[in-house]
């Protein structure tokens, strides 16, 4: 799926790269374990946002910056 944001000045930001988050159940469990523990560690810090499996962009207006093939 592709989303075109109104403020993006015609730039298209992809919502997904089409790849799975993990190759197997063990990898998935470790990703979730690390994410949940980071959430607990930083629960009292309003300056920290913890999430998993996000597609994010380094610089607004440059959707390919930092892209790994």
More confident residue, 23 or 57: 23
Domain ranges of the chain: 22-62
Query: What does the mean pLDDT of the chain come to?
Result: 82
- Write the secondary structure of the chain as one string of H (helix), E (strand) and C (coil): CEEECHHHCCCEEECCCCCCCCCCHHHHHHHHHHHHHHHHHCCCCCCCCCCCCCCCCCCCCCCCCCCCC
Closest to 63 in 3D by CA, of 4, 1, 22:
4
Phi then psi for residue 16, to 5 deg, are -150, 150
Whole-model pTM above 0.85? no
């Amino acid at each position: 799926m592709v989303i075109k944001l109104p403020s993006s000045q015609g730039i298209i930001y992809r919502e997904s790269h089409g790849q799975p988050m993990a190759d197997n159940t063990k990898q998935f469990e470790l990703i979730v374990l690390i994410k949940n523990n980071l959430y607990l560690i930083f629960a009292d810090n309003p300056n920290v946002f913890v999430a998993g499996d996000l597609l994010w962009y380094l610089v607004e207006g440059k959707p390919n910056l930092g892209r790994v093939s």
